[in-house]
Amino acid sequence: MAIRKIVERGDPVLEKVCRPVTEFNGRLHTLLDDMRETLEEASGVGLAAPQVGVLRRVCIVEDSEGEILELINPEIIATGGEQTGLEGCLSIPGRYGIVTRPYKVRVRAQDRDGVTFEVEDEDLTARCFCHEIEHLDGHLYTEHCDHLLSDEEVQKYIEDHPEQFGQDEEEE
Ligand code: ZN
C-alpha cells in the first residue's frame, strides 16, 4: 500500500467526469488499498479517485461504525429528508461551507470484485455519499454554498450547533 498525493482545488482533474470501472482487477484493488491508507493518513471520512488523480468512478466512505465502504460505479437511487451542516473536503484543506443535503441516502454500487450491492445510511454518512459521488462527475461542495466560512464563522457555527459535533459524547 502507498499514500497517494491528494490534489487540491484548481487542479483540472477535479472538474472532469470519471469513466466507469470495467475491470475489477489487481490494479483496482491497489487503488482502493492506497485510497484507504491515504484517507486514514489525512483523517478524512471520504475520498474519491479523482482526488488522487485517477479518473475512474471509485470512492470510499467511512461509515458511523468506522467501516470503510468501497463504492465502485456508485449511483444514488433514493434520498429522503434534509440536513444542513458544515462540509469540508480534503481537496480544499482547512475550509468549510454550509451545505444542505438529503438526510438519508441509498446507494447502488459494485464492490472490488464487481458484485452489485446496495447500502443505505443517514446523517454524516449520507452527506459523505453525496459529496464523494459528486466528485466523480467533477463537482465540488463549494457549488452548493454561497461562500466558504472564515475561521470565526466556523467557530461560531460550532458553538451554535453543539448537537452536530458530538458534544454529548465528549462530556461522558
Ligand atoms: Zn471532497
Find the CATH number of the domain harbouring 42. Answer: 3.90.45.10
Shortest CA distance to 8 belongs to which of 110, 102, 88?
88
Ion ligand 1 contact residues with beta carbon within 5 A: 89
Q: Is 18 contained in some domain?
A: yes
Shortest CA distance to 107 belongs to which of 89, 133, 83, 82?
133
Cell triple for 74 = 456508485
Q: Is 6 contained in some domain?
A: no
Residue 165: predicted pLDDT: 83
In this prediction, the residues of the chain whose per-residue pLDDT falls under 50 are 169-172
If one counts every other C-beta atom within 10 angstroms of the C-beta of residue 169, the result is: 7
User: What's the gap in Å between 122 CA and the centre of ligand 1?
Assistant: 18
Residues catalogued as catalytic: 132
Q: Is 94 contained in some domain?
A: yes
Sign of the alpha-carbon dihedral angle for 55, 76, 126, 103: positive
Count: domains in the chain:
1
Residue 171: predicted pLDDT: 46
Quick check: pTM over 0.85? Answer: yes
User: What's the gap in Å between 87 CA and the centre of ligand 1?
Assistant: 9
User: What's the gap in Å between 76 CA and the centre of ligand 1?
Assistant: 17
Residue 170: predicted pLDDT: 46
Q: Is 106 contained in some domain?
A: yes
Residue 164: predicted pLDDT: 85
Q: The sheet that has 46-48: what strands, in order across it?
A: 46-48, 58-62, 68-80, 104-110, 116-122
Residue 167: predicted pLDDT: 54
Cell triple for 89 = 473536503
Q: Is 148 contained in some domain?
A: yes
Residue 172: predicted pLDDT: 44
Q: Exposed/middle/buried for 150, CB within 10 Å: 0-12, 13-18, 19+? A: exposed
Cα separation of 48 and 56, whole Å? 9
Q: Is 67 contained in some domain?
A: yes
Q: pLDDT of 33-79, one tens digit each?
A: 999 999 999 999 999 999 999 999 999 999 999 999 999 999 999 99
Q: Is 7 contained in some domain?
A: no
Q: In sequence order, what are the beta bridge partners of 131?
A: none
User: What's the gap in Å between 160 CA and the centre of ligand 1?
Assistant: 25
The domain in which residue 88 lies consists of 12-163
Q: Is 121 contained in some domain?
A: yes
